[in-house]
Chains A and B, each alone.
Chain A
């Protein structure tokens, strides 16, 4: 469950975060304003609050059940995904935007000078170079996200932390159980960090 949560919300937050980053550098003031507001709001709210809000607020009050009103488990999982994506996209956006800032302004000028449109400049010239520069910071976001999936336990998603809690309640070996789960997370995140660190070096754009 933890892995499933991590993978889907990682992909989701990458896409949404990149879109937000695109908005933050776009020439349209409305989009810029929206993305800036979104990032500054969402990243300053504790994840627990966001996740709990998806359940208590969105689902119970507004009736947003993500098409799973009869199955509480599926509903919790989808709402947790929504919360995780919404939260981490803000961090992805800022990482990508800092990457955009590392791309020399001449690259965009040259791209505009041959007649590419704004979105083409962003997609073909700027983002590919920006992503290569921020693979390592993105790995940080990804690792944080992997660990933050534990917050989903708060709304009853049976991911690792929830599992651990029920095991500790039923078994006596509290320390051992804690150690096993901690080790499990290291097993998930360490290779991610090492791989992306290596990739970041390999893909770096030479200037």
Chain B
């Protein structure tokens, strides 16, 4: 953790990898994101928590423009998020994303899932792509499943493949949109362990989750959202033991006391 602890809230501006400035978004009448300001430094692990409907998933999805925004600005590695098209595709290749529902390509094998982006987007050689894919599958502990189809794997295994698929693109930052929410309890840990390892390796991560244990142990910073606003930002210890806002106190009392 010493390596990444320099990249805390007070990091120098040049180290900022993802910057959101007064971002607003509406779903019809619902104002899901209200004046969101957030910057994430290189190597930082930010965990976003909050009640359902607070806009945390939407926030995560705006960062690679799976959701468009109504106003404000988002920049990744100093470059503003481009409009739909080739430029955006290039940017998305640099931003890994892991979904709640895994979304592995159902008609392709596990190995093909991890090779696809390397070959089609990075134009990598097939042999090298396969080598890298196998190494990544080994790293997330599903090397023996390489030739199976996603539907033949457990949820935990599928999610680990999805992480490998994202890592295959050598992303600058990884987005996790509730990666363990669709998993059986016994499979949550195998996915969290992979994420812990990633965090220790210095990957920049934005994690939307309900796993408070992960937030405590892996995060450099906890962002608490409610009703479309960022209500509180703090280091995990401070947030969990001594939340400042009433909203966060209320939220924590509901989830920690049973």
Contact = CB atoms under 8 A, between A and B. Distances in A.
Interface of A: 27, 104, 106-107, 109-117, 120, 124-125, 128-129, 132, 205-207
A117 B89 contact: yes
B97 interface: yes
A207 B169 CA distance: 25
B3 interface: no
Contacts, number: 70
Given A106-B99, A110-B99, A116 B106 contact: no
Interface stretch (B113-121, B131-139, B205-213): B113-121
B101 A106 contact: yes
Interface in B90-121: 90-97, 99, 101, 103-107, 116-117, 120-121
A115 B84 CA distance: 11
B66 interface: yes
A205 to B, nearest CB: 5
Scoring A104, A110, A112, A125 by chain B CB atoms within 10 A of each residue's CB, the highest score goes to A110
A120 B123 CA distance: 13
A124 B95 contact: no
Nearest to B91: A115
A121 to B, nearest CB: 9
Contacts of B152: 206
Nearest to B61: A109
A116 B107 contact: no
A173 to B, nearest CB: 52
A117 B91 CA distance: 11
Interface in B114-150: 116-117, 120-121, 149
Contacts of B94: 115
A205 B109 CA distance: 12
19 contacts: A107-B103, A107-B106, A110-B99, A110-B105, A112-B89, A113-B95, A113-B97, A114-B93, A114-B165, A114-B166, A115-B89, A115-B90, A115-B91, A116-B120, A129-B107, A132-B107, A205-B107, A206-B149, A206-B152
Given A112-B89, A114-B93, A114-B117, A129 B106 contact: yes
The 4 closest A-B pairs by CB, nearest first: A115-B93, A110-B103, A114-B117, A206-B151
A109 B165 contact: no
Contact of B92 (A106, A115, A207): A115
Contact of B151 (A112, A114, A117, A207): A207
Main SS of the interface on chain B?
Answer: mixed
Chain B interface size, under 10 / 10 to 19 / 20 to 34 / 35 or more:
20 to 34
Contacts of B103: 104, 106-107, 109-110
Given A115-B92, A115-B93, A124 B99 contact: no
Given A132-B107, A205-B107, A206-B151, 13 more contacts: A106-B99, A110-B103, A110-B105, A112-B89, A113-B66, A113-B96, A113-B97, A115-B89, A115-B90, A115-B92, A115-B169, A116-B121, A206-B149
B120 A124 contact: yes
Given A110-B104, A124-B116, A117 B64 contact: no
Contacts of B117: 114-116
A116 B105 CA distance: 13
A116 B99 CA distance: 17
Contacts of B162: 110
A109 B107 contact: no
A128 B231 CA distance: 45
A1 B152 CA distance: 47
B254 interface: no
B86 interface: yes
B64 to A, nearest CB: 6
A66 to B, nearest CB: 38
Contacts of A104: 101, 103
B121 A114 contact: yes
A206 to B, nearest CB: 4
Contacts of B151: 206-207
Given A114-B121, A114-B166, A115-B169, A128 B92 contact: no
A189 to B, nearest CB: 28
